[in-house]
Structure 1
Amino acid sequence: VIMESRDFDFVIFGASGFTGKYVVQEVFKHCKTDGITMAVAGRNRDKLTKVISTAVGENEDEIQVEVIIADVKDFQSLVLMCSRARVVLNCVGPYRFFGEPVVKACVEAKTNYVDISGEPQFLENMQLKYDEAAKEAGVIIVGACGFDSIPSDLGAVFTQQQFQGTLNSIKAYLSVNAGPSGYGFHFTTYESAVHGISDVKSLSKIRKQFGHKPLPTVGPRMKREGFMHYLSFAQSYCIPFLGADASVVKRSQRYFCEELDEPPTQYSMYSCIGSMWNIFLMMVFGGIFKFLAMRSWGRSLLLNHPKFFTLGLFSHEGPTKQQLKESSFNIVMFGEGYPTGSFDSNKKPKKKITVKVSGPEPGYVATPIAIVQSALCIIQEKQNLPKRGGVFAPAAAFGKTSLIPRLHERGIKFDVLNHS
């Protein structure tokens, strides 16, 4: 992996966006402790300057942060931006519309790249189109370095590491906990979901182009839960998780299997929804949402009235500071497999482990922590990164680094609850 000296360790692209602002604040913490040099980039100098002064506060004399003007519609401006950084932290979404030029510019400028996309179409398409070019350029391109999908992907690795045997499968259960002020998301996440649902067919086309062989299983195929089931551990009804996590974990497990010759673990993920009434509401709103998202007039309607169609959950204002402070997440992972030296594919897995990955508010507190620690791993742990450049899922890129303890130290905790 190439590590040329550049003007800046990190350039944060889209720094004045809702999530970008929080990423800048998170990077700023490391300017002093790790001697990180940074610049912010985007289209609007005034907005970017404002973001800097908010993040830097009274330390303006000590830390200089440069502003770089770059626009996804001006490819040359992106190449110039990328050529000044060791790692670009791309916070400009939806990535299906704005992500590819930045990836392409990073490959051209031989610059490492991380983003916070949770869009499988984008993530897998970038691997399909740029893995070979990134390999030749000697750069690491890693999508999904936010809450999508660091806790799941590295959580699966943590479970494998702690298992002491051969792990057959993991069933993961996500709970997002809001405080008294409720919970909120920013519009960009909603926009990505609207377009993601409308374009599910393109994902299967991308996957066909890879021509992957089915991943081998260590022991029996995992039995997946149906649309709805009750989890007594969480005292909650659960439905399959609709995010990118399972697909991201599978990409990492494929890398471990095909490139490192390590046994892959099957992974499925579910959302803890709470009561039957919540499930009913989700089915009603989900049905309306899907119906509208599949039609262009419906998408316009959804995108023009986010608050109405999500009962106030998604808005252009995003969550309040109080909501961020009060919210948290946890993912409980139930793993099962075989003790060391006793693997028999004809027998059912008997050994079990329960792991919990937990942390602060996922979208705008945990996400900046995750992307910044990922970027730090790239510049501080070259020896532990994949031996080649390429486009990777997070655990494939960072599974051998100290990312898990780094995150644990900063409040995204990885704990073994039970081992039997």
Structure 2
Amino acid sequence: MATGRPYQLVVFGASGFTGQFVVEEVARVAAEDELRGSLQWAVAGRSREKLQAVLEKAAKKLGKSELKSEVNIILCDVSDPSSLADMAKQTALVLNCVGPYRFFGEPVVKACVENGTSCIDISGEPQFLEGMYLNYNDKAAEKGAYIIGSCGFDSIPADMGVLYTRSNLKGTLTAVESFLNIKSGSEGSCIHDGTWKSAVYGLADQDNLRKLRRQIGHKPLPVIGRKLKGRGAVFYSNELNQYSVPFMGSDVSVVKRTQRYLHTHLNESPIQYAAYTTVGGIGSVIKLMFAGLLFLMLVKFDFGRKLLIKYPEFFSGGHFTKEGPTEKQMEESSFEMTFFGEGYSTGQDPQQGKPNVKICTQVKGPEAGYVATPIAMVQAAVTLLKDKSSLPKQGGVYSPGAAFSETKLIDRLNKHGIEFSVISKPEA
């Protein structure tokens, strides 16, 4: 990674809805023992006034008046390549908070790769993530830049959770299913409509994702052990006693990329993976099915997409809003992701017979979108800066698990409120 630059990290898009929370988290972590007095960082965006306001808000909230004078501002516009290059040249690492990434992500990656600067984002968009691998992996390796996408709620808990599950099973883990459960308080929960836009454009572009994957040309991963069976579009989970549906985020594609890397480069046995989310009782299922059918019908057409983007609150039943969650909603919300794994005990051939060991693990944490995501992103950044010897030997475009499988990221997350634990496993 680049050295001899004035900053170790820059938060780009710091005045955006998510960016402001990332700024607060960087400020918190910069005051901890590991980084106190040593982390030089800046914020970047289009408006000096908005960036200054974000620093002032963070300073007031955290009781750190020195932020306003200690953290510099870089003026930078995603539509101006020269300003992006100027930002990249000043730092070892960019934390990119400007989405939807399918529209605004590539210029940042390009500037970082060309200038030997590493970059972390919080994209949950498979088309963007896999497109960056296709277009920039070789150049990033040449330049020594680590480009690591989906370092937020999509998909740190899922990707690192699978690796955590594997590390706690004695034997060969062959398949994992995860179930996400979002808990909310008296005011419910909601998500800023930036995530809604990403979902709208992503689902409308599935054909191009398939073409992109054909261009990449990866061969299918070998299936080790019993083949993991798919579940229905809606099903009752006996494990959690709730109805569940497939998780529509990027987790499955990200985990598969990690498993491919670990299999190809480290000769590890690939793990099959499926991701689901719980939806509650039958009433919730009926509402979800109605909203889902309407969404899928509208997303196919240009006018339908315009309606979905203009009225996110109406079409999502209040789950996505232009204002985002309130402070109280964030304080009262949390998530649990439970992993059910199966495999073969030490000495048993995974290609012979049925799995004979099971394990259940869990990752839990605070509100997913704007509390857990900044924690995950910032701890990924600290890991990238501090655990250099444990990263892959050369730069490239990586998934979180591929980049961080040998690092202390899980330990760091545990210390910052995103907790990994074993719920049950076979007796030794």
- Same fold, TM-score > 0.5, yes or no: yes
1:24 aligns with 2:26: no
1:14 aligns to what?
13
Match for residue 40 of structure 1 among 43, 56, 61: 43
Match for residue 53 of structure 1 among 32, 53, 56: 56
Match for residue 129 of structure 2 among 119, 123, 126: 123
1:197 aligns to what?
203
Alignment of 1:253-292 (within 5 A): 253-292=259-298
Match for residue 394 of structure 1 among 400, 403, 411: 400
Structure 1 residue 278, shift from structure 2 partner: 1.1
Q: CA RMSD in A?
A: 1.0
Q: Counterpart of 1:163 in 2: which secondary structure?
A: coil
2:75 aligns to what?
69
Match for residue 353 of structure 1 among 333, 354, 359: 359
Structure 1 residue 177, shift from structure 2 partner: 0.8
Hey, what's the Cα distance between the residues in 1 that align with 2:235 and 2:317? 25
Structure 1 residue 233, shift from structure 2 partner: 2.9
2:156 aligns to what?
150
Hey, what's the Cα distance between the residues in 2 that align with 1:319 and 1:273? 20
Match for residue 218 of structure 2 among 212, 215, 238: 212
2:391 aligns to what?
385
The Cα offsets for residues 299-343 of structure 1, whole Å up to 9 and x where unpaired, read as 111111111111222111100000000001111100000111222
1:100 aligns to what?
106
Letter in 2 for 1:383: S
Q: Counterpart of 2:422 in 1: which secondary structure?
A: strand
May I ask how many residue pairs the two structures share in their alignment?
419
Alignment of 1:313-392 (within 5 A): 313-392=319-398
TM-score, normalising length: structure 1: 0.98
Q: 79-88 or 212-221: which moved more?
A: 212-221
Hey, what's the Cα distance between the residues in 2 that align with 1:327 and 1:363? 10
Structure 1 unaligned blocks of 5 or more: none
Hey, what's the Cα distance between the residues in 2 that align with 1:190 and 1:218? 36
Q: Counterpart of 2:324 in 1: which secondary structure?
A: coil
Letter in 2 for 1:309: F
Q: 219-228 or 378-387: which moved more?
A: 219-228
Letter in 1 for 2:4: S
Hey, what's the Cα distance between the residues in 2 that align with 1:30 and 1:344? 43
Letter in 2 for 1:233: E
Q: Counterpart of 1:255 in 2: which secondary structure?
A: helix
Structure 1 residue 31, shift from structure 2 partner: 2.0
The Cα offsets for residues 134-156 of structure 1, whole Å up to 9 and x where unpaired, read as 00001100000000000000000
Hey, what's the Cα distance between the residues in 2 that align with 1:344 and 1:382? 34
1:239 aligns with 2:239: no
1:81 aligns with 2:73: no
Hey, what's the Cα distance between the residues in 1 that align with 2:268 and 2:260? 9
The Cα offsets for residues 42-68 of structure 1, whole Å up to 9 and x where unpaired, read as 111100000011112343337611111
2:183 aligns to what?
177
Structure 1 residue 114, shift from structure 2 partner: 0.2
Q: Counterpart of 1:341 in 2: which secondary structure?
A: coil
Contact 1:166–1:218 (8 Å) recurs in 2: no
Structure 1 residue 130, shift from structure 2 partner: 0.4
The Cα offsets for residues 46-100 of structure 1, whole Å up to 9 and x where unpaired, read as 0000001111234333761111111111001001001111110000000000000
Structure 1 residue 210, shift from structure 2 partner: 1.1
Letter in 1 for 2:113: V
Contact 2:160–2:400 (8 Å) recurs in 1: yes
Contact 1:167–1:218 (8 Å) recurs in 2: no
Hey, what's the Cα distance between the residues in 1 that align with 2:5 and 2:347? 48
Contact 1:3–1:379 (8 Å) recurs in 2: no
Letter in 2 for 1:28: A
Q: 1:321 to 1:346 in 2, by over 3 A?
A: same
Hey, what's the Cα distance between the residues in 2 that align with 1:223 and 1:234? 18
Hey, what's the Cα distance between the residues in 1 that align with 2:229 and 2:299? 30
Q: 333-342 or 306-315: which moved more?
A: 306-315
Letter in 2 for 1:59: K
Hey, what's the Cα distance between the residues in 2 that align with 1:314 and 1:345? 45
Structure 1 residue 223, shift from structure 2 partner: 1.2
Letter in 2 for 1:245: D
2:119 aligns to what?
113
